C-alpha cells in the first residue's frame, strides 16, 4: 500500500463546500495508479470560513481518504518542526508539498524559507530514508501583482526551491519539482485571487499527476473531465 501525504497551506486544506485538489488527485490516482494506495496524515478537516476554524464538513465522496497535513495560514515555517514525527507516525511514503506563500507573506524571506525546505527534507528522511517528495513552487496570486517586494521574494524563493530540489534529489529518496501549470491564472482559476476554484483544483492536481507520472511512473495522463 503506497501512502501519500499532502503537506500544504490553505490552498491544500480547502474550505467547506469545495472539492479540493486533493480530491481531484485522488480520483485520478484511483483510476490510473495501478497499485493500492491511500492518503495519510494527522488531520482530516476542511476550513470553515464562517468561523475561521477547522470543520468536519462532509466531503464530496464518502470514499475519499480525507487524511492530510495541511492548515490554513501554515507554511514551511510551521510544517518543518513537525514533519519528521508525522512521517514516522503516519508511515508516509510520498509527500505532496505545496507551501511558501504564507512564509514569504508573514514569517521568513526567500533565503530563510529555502533553509526551512532543506531542514524539512532532512527531517522527513530521518523518519523514512526512502521517502519521496513532490514539491510545487509558489503559484502566482493576487498579492504578487499588487506588491512588488512580495513578488520579488516569490520569484527568488522559486529559484532557490528549484536549486534546492536539484541539490537534494537522491536515487533512494527522490525529490521532484512540480512545474506550475502553464495556464494557471488567478483571475479565472481562483475564487478570491489565491484559493483555487474547480478549474484551479484540476490544474494543480494535474501538475502533480504529470510530475509523478513522468518522474516516478505513477498514474497515467490526467483528465479534468471528471467532476
pLDDT of residue 45: 86
DSSP 60-88: S-TTS---BEE-TT--HHHHHHHHHHHHH
- pLDDT per residue over 40-91, tens digit each? 999 998 888 777 777 776 676 889 999 999 999 999 999 999 999 999 999 9
Whether 16 maps to a domain, the answer reads yes
Question: Residue range 198-216: average pLDDT?
Answer: 97
Among 167, 166, 143, which Cα is nearest to 154's? Answer: 143
For residue 54, the cross-strand partners are 47
Report yes or no on 163 lying in a domain: yes
Instruction: Please give the C-alpha separations between residue 212 and each of 34, 46, 151, 190, in angstroms, as whole numbers.
Output: 13, 25, 28, 24
pLDDT of residue 57: 67
Residue 226 falls inside a structural domain: no
Does residue 189 form part of some domain?
A: yes
Give pLDDT, residue 8: 98
* 73 located within any domain: yes
Q: pTM for the full model? A: 0.96
For the chain, what percent of residues have pLDDT higher than 90?
Answer: 85
19 located within any domain: yes
With 90 as the cut, is the pLDDT of residue 7 above it? yes
31 — pLDDT class (breaks 50, 70, 90) = very high
The pLDDT value given to residue 227? 56
Query: Which CATH number belongs to the domain containing residue 87 in this structure?
Result: 3.40.50.1110
User: How many structural domains does the chain have?
Assistant: 1
Average pLDDT over residues 131-135: 98
Domain-located, residue 221 = no
What average pLDDT does this structure show over 21-30? Answer: 95
**224: in domain:** no
Range of 6's domain? 2-216
pLDDT score for 225: 57
**Once rounded to an integer, what is the mean pLDDT over residues 101-106?**
97
Contact 8, 84 (CB under 8 A): no
Amino acid at each position: 500500500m503506497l501512502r501519500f501525504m499532502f503537506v500544504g497551506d490553505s490552498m491544500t486544506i480547502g474550505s467547506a463546500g469545495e472539492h479540493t485538489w486533493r480530491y481531484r488527485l485522488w480520483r485520478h490516482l484511483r483510476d490510473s495508479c495501478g497499485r493500492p494506495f491511500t492518503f495519510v496524515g494527522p488531520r482530516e478537516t476542511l476550513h470553515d470560513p464562517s468561523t475561521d476554524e477547522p470543520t468536519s464538513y462532509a466531503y464530496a465522496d464518502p470514499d475519499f481518504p480525507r487524511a492530510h497535513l495541511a492548515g490554513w495560514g501554515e507554511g514551511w515555517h510551521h510544517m518543518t518542526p513537525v514533519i519528521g514525527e508525522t512521517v514516522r507516525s503516519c508511515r508516509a511514503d510520498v509527500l505532496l508539498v505545496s507551501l511558501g506563500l504564507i512564509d514569504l507573506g508573514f514569517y521568513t524571506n526567500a533565503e530563510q524559507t529555502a533553509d526551512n525546505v532543506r531542514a524539512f527534507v532532512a527531517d522527513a528522511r530521518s523518519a523514512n530514508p526512502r521517502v519521496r517528495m513532490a514539491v510545487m513552487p509558489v503559484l502566482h496570486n493576487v498579492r504578487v501583482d499588487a506588491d512588488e517586494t512580495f513578488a520579488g521574494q516569490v520569484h527568488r524563493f522559486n529559484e532557490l526551491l528549484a536549486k534546492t530540489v536539484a541539490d537534494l534529489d537522491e536515487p533512494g529518496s527522490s525529490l521532484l519539482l512540480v512545474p506550475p501549470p502553464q495556464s494557471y491564472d488567478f483571475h479565472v482559476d481562483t475564487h478570491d485571487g489565491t484559493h483555487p476554484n474547480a478549474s484551479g483544483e484540476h490544474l494543480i492536481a494535474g501538475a502533480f499527476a504529470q510530475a509523478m507520472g513522468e518522474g516516478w511512473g505513477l498514474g497515467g495522463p490526467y483528465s479534468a473531465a471528471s467532476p
